[in-house]
Copies of this chain bind each other. A is one copy, B any other.
C-alpha cells in the first residue's frame, strides 16, 4: 500500500494502471493524467470544475505505485500520505493500483476537505478552569433543637462555610422562601446552588440561588448565547465539568424587522418596537433553550447562568437599552460594559435568579461577539501579530498581539450572509454553498447544504461562484459579465445582466437561480470593505497587510469560507495558506470559554479595556482603500501574486516568477 512520490519521472515509459474495485486496467505512458487513464479504461469521475483541481470531486486513492502531483488542493497531509489524489491533477509515474471510491464517498471526502473545521471541536475549554461560577454544593445540615435554635438560613450558611469554605452567601428571596420546607422535606440533606459573587466586577456578594432536595438531579448548567444579527446560537454546558451538553441555533427572530443592525436601530425608535425586537430575540433564544431542555430531560431551573456575546446593537436590543445613538455620529452606545441581569428580568427560560452576563463591547460596532472572538482566538496572549476577522453582516477585525490590540468594523452589508441578492439566502439547507464552472462550457456544477434541491445561494456560495466566474472569464476584474455570447447562462433580464447558476426546473422553487451584476457589485463592496478595513487597520499601526503573521477567521459565515476563493476575489489578503486558520463561530466559542472559566471571563474585560477602537467612518484612508479594493482581486494586482498566477494558469500561460510551488499548470482538462 506504500505510495511513492517521484519528482523526476521518466515520461513516456509505459505504465500499467489497474483500477479497483472494477479490476479494469490500462497501459498508458508515464506522465499521463490519471483522469485520462480513467477515461481510457471507460471509467469516469465527475469534474465539476472542468479539471482544474478546484473542486476535489475527482478524488481517488493510489494504493500502489508512484505518481506525480500537480496540485493537492483540498487534501490534507494525512490524505496525501494515504495516497489520496485528484485524478485531474495527478500524473502516472509508474505501475499503479488505483481505487475509485463510490460517488457518495468522494463527495463526503471533498466536503470534509472543504470544511475541515466542521470536525473541529465545537468548544475550547480553559486548561485550568477554576471552580465554576455556580455549583450545587451538597450539604448535611444538623437539625435544630431547643438548645440550637439557629434559623434555617444561618444554619445553611454555617454549613456552607464549614463544609465548602463559602462565606457570606446571601440568599435570593425565592431560595429563602422555600428553604424551610426543602430542608425538612429533604431530612436536612440538600444541595445548595451557590453563585460565587467574585466573578462580577465590581464583585457582588455570593448568592444562594436555590436549594434542592438531594433526590433531584443536582447538575447545574450554563448557557453560552451568541446573538448574531442573522443567526442566534445557544450552547448548553455542564458547569461542573465544562462539557458541552447540547447546542442549537436558529435565525434571529428580529430579521423580519430589518436585515442589518442599522435597519433594526431605525425600527426600534419607538419604545414599543424596541420592546418587540427584544421579545423577538428572547423568543428565539427561548425556543432554542426549550428544545435543548426537553431533549436532555432537564428542568429550566437547572440552567443557572448565561454568558451572552453579541454585537453592540444586538446586546442593546437584547437588554432593552436604547440603541439609537449607535447609529448617529459620533456613534455612542449606552454602555460598553453591561451589568449582569437576573434572567427573570429578561424573560429567559432558565432559573429566574441566574445572572445573564453580556460580554463587553469596545465601541459602537465592535461588540461582545468580537471580545469573545479575541478571547477564543488567543491572539491577545501571543507574540505573533495576528489579524482576526469576524465576517458577518458587519465585518469586524482586530489586529495585534499580547502587547496591543486595535479593532475596527466596516459595514460589509448582508451580501456575505446571502441577503440582499436576487437569489441570496442564508446558509441553511438548500443553499448553494459551492460552485464550479467548466472553463470551456461555462456550465456550473454546485453543491447545496444538506444536498437538497437548490433554493438560492448563501454567502459561501457567493464567494465560490464569484471566484469561479473570475477564473473562467465569466466576469472581468470590475465584476462585469462577459457579453460574448459564449453561453446562454449569461443573459440580460429585467434585473440587468446576470449569470444563471441553476435553471428553474432544477430548483426547489421552480425559479432560475441567478447572480446579477448588481449582486456582484454588492459583493464587491462587501469584500472591498473588509479588505480595506484590514488594510487601514494595519496601516494605522505602521504595518503592511503582508506583515501579518497569522490570519484567524471567525463568524458563522467563516465556518464555510473557502480561503482559496476568498483570496481569489480579494476578500482575504494574499498570503500563504498556512497563515490562515478557520476558527468557526468564535463568538459562541468565546462566550462558552467565559461561561466555563472565571480566568477567561476576567480576561475578556481586560482585553476589551486594552483594545483601541478605530472608527473607520472618520478615516479618509478607509474610503481610499475601499475604492481601490472594488476590483477583483484589487486595483493593485501586485498585492495578489497568487491570484495573478492562478489567472495566468487558467489562461494557459506559464506561471510568472515567484509562482507558488503547490502546483504547475499544464493546461487541459481531465475529461
Contacts and interface: CB of A to CB of B under 8 A. Distances in A.
A618 interface: yes
B172 A324 contact: no
Given A168-B202, A325-B184, A151 B335 contact: yes
Contact of A204 (B204, B320, B341): B204
A180 B146 contact: no
17 contacts: A144-B332, A149-B363, A149-B364, A149-B613, A151-B332, A151-B334, A168-B201, A168-B202, A170-B202, A173-B320, A176-B321, A177-B334, A179-B334, A180-B332, A181-B322, A197-B202, A202-B205
B205 A146 contact: no
A364 B345 CA distance: 33
Interface in A552-583: none
A204 B180 CA distance: 25
Given A146-B618, A177-B320, A618-B146, A335 B200 contact: no
Nearest to A206: B202
Nearest to A362: B151
B171 A335 contact: yes
Contact of A144 (B171, B178, B203, B330): B330
A151 B178 CA distance: 41
Interface in A136-180: 144-146, 149-154, 168, 170-173, 176-180
A283 interface: no
A339 B173 CA distance: 7
Interface in A592-625: 613, 615, 618
A48 interface: no
Contacts of A153: 334-337
Given A173-B339, A339-B172, A322 B180 contact: yes
A41 interface: no
A103 B65 CA distance: 131
A151 B326 CA distance: 9
Contacts of A404: none
A309 B205 CA distance: 23
Nearest to A363: B149
A190 B572 CA distance: 47
A363 B345 CA distance: 34
Interface of A: 144-146, 149-154, 168, 170-173, 176-181, 184, 197, 200-206, 319-322, 324-325, 329-339, 341, 345, 361, 363-364, 613, 615, 618
Contacts of A145: 330
A345 B168 CA distance: 22
Contacts of A325: 152, 180, 184
Given A146-B329, A332-B144, A177 B615 contact: no
B173 A345 contact: yes
Given A145-B330, A177-B334, 15 more contacts: A146-B618, A149-B330, A149-B331, A149-B363, A149-B615, A151-B361, A152-B325, A152-B333, A154-B336, A172-B339, A173-B339, A176-B338, A176-B339, A179-B334, A179-B335
Nearest to A331: B149
A326 to B, nearest CB: 9
A319 B320 CA distance: 28
B170 A615 contact: no
B173 A335 contact: no
Contact of A146 (B320, B337, B615): B615
A205 B149 CA distance: 32
Contact of A336 (B151, B330, B337, B338): B151
Contacts of A180: 321-322, 324-325, 332, 334
A74 B149 CA distance: 45
Contact of A339 (B150, B170, B333, B618): B170
B333 A151 contact: yes
A526 to B, nearest CB: 25
A178 B334 CA distance: 9
Nearest to A613: B149
Nearest to A156: B335
A330 B329 CA distance: 67
Contacts of A144: 330, 332
A577 to B, nearest CB: 37
Contacts of A170: 202, 339
Contacts of A150: 332, 336
A200 B197 CA distance: 14
A508 to B, nearest CB: 43
Contacts of A168: 201-202
